[in-house]
């Protein structure tokens, strides 16, 4: 496990920014950050994988802010809905990074799958248009796209560990040590 001092150095500023956007008073934001870091310090041993550290810390932050608003019902609490779902900017950034990685991984597919995936996923052609362009049958084009997707998924899972929400949508990822992206 990471030492608490490293966690404090790496996450204090990010947490303060995250919390300060959600509460109206900077001193309350700092108090909540201290509370979050205390919880992290006391529960760090329960974290099973350090690869999920950031998501775990920000989930503690969301829960701490929700608790703050519940204790202070006279405050505006419309931010609670925003906190229950993971931060969309963070998700958007993670999806953009994975999208770039996918583009790189497509290049490592065997030629016939690389071309089919490029035409389908990057250029947006239909499978019928791919069949015409590659001078193959429609079922051949469908097969190449499906096999290309399967190979690409395999490569991606070998390269990264993904954190999914309750609807199986990606909310975060961590590259594995041997990831070429």
pLDDT at position 90: 66
Domain boundary among 84, 104, 126: 84
Q: Do 78 and 11 have their domain in common?
A: yes
Q: Do 79 and 154 have their domain in common?
A: no
In a domain, 181, yes or no: no
- The model's pTM: 0.49
Q: Do 17 and 71 have their domain in common?
A: yes
pLDDT tens digits for range 122-171: 888 899 999 999 999 999 999 999 999 999 889 888 888 877 766 777 77
Q: Do 94 and 171 have their domain in common?
A: yes
In a domain, 180, yes or no: no
SS3 121: helix
CATH number at residue 167: 1.10.10.10
Q: What is the mean pLDDT of residues 71-85?
A: 54
The answer to whether residues 64 and 39 touch, using CB atoms and an 8 Å cutoff, is yes
pLDDT tens digits for range 55-65: 888 888 888 98
Domain boundary among 40, 68, 84: 84
The answer to whether residues 16 and 35 touch, using CB atoms and an 8 Å cutoff, is no
β-pairing, 160-164 with 170-175?
A: antiparallel
Q: Do 8 and 30 have their domain in common?
A: yes
pLDDT at position 77: 42
Enclosing domain of residue 158: 90-175
Q: What is the DSSP letter of 119?
A: I
Domain boundary among 57, 84, 111: 84
pLDDT tens digits for range 36-46: 999 988 888 88
The answer to whether residues 32 and 65 touch, using CB atoms and an 8 Å cutoff, is yes
Q: Give me the torsion for CA of 39, 40, 43, 49, rounded to 10°.
A: 160
Tell me how many domains the chain contains: 2
- Residue whose entry in the numeric block shows the structure tokens 């993670």: 94
pLDDT tens digits for range 86-136: 456 666 777 777 777 888 888 889 999 999 998 988 888 899 999 999 999
Q: Do 74 and 106 have their domain in common?
A: no
Judged against a pLDDT cut of 60, whether residue 52 lies above it is answered with yes
pLDDT at position 87: 53
CA distance 56 to 64: 12
Q: Do 98 and 140 have their domain in common?
A: yes
User: For residue 24, what are the contacts with CB-CB under 8 A and spacing of at least 6?
Assistant: 75
Ranking 23-27, 83-87, 141-145, 172-176 by mean pLDDT, the lowest is 83-87
């Amino acid at each position: 496990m990471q030492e608490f001092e490293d966690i404090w150095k790496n996450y204090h500023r990010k947490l303060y920014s995250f919390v300060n956007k959600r509460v109206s008073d900077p001193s309350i934001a700092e108090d909540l950050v201290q509370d979050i870091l205390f919880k992290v310090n006391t529960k760090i041993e329960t974290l099973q994988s350090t690869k999920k550290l950031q998501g775990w810390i920000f989930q503690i932050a969301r829960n701490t802010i929700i608790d703050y608003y519940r204790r202070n019902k006279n405050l505006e609490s419309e931010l609670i809905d925003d906190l229950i779902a993971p931060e969309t900017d963070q998700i958007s950034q993670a999806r953009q990074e994975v999208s770039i990685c996918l583009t790189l991984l497509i290049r490592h597919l065997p030629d016939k799958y690389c071309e089919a995936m490029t035409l389908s996923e990057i250029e947006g052609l239909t499978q019928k248009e791919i069949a015409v362009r590659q001078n193959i049958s429609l079922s051949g084009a469908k097969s190449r796209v499906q096999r290309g997707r399967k190979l690409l998924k395999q490569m991606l899972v070998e390269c990264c560990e993904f954190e999914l929400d309750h609807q199986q949508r990606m909310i975060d990822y961590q590259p594995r040590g041997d990831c070429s992206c």
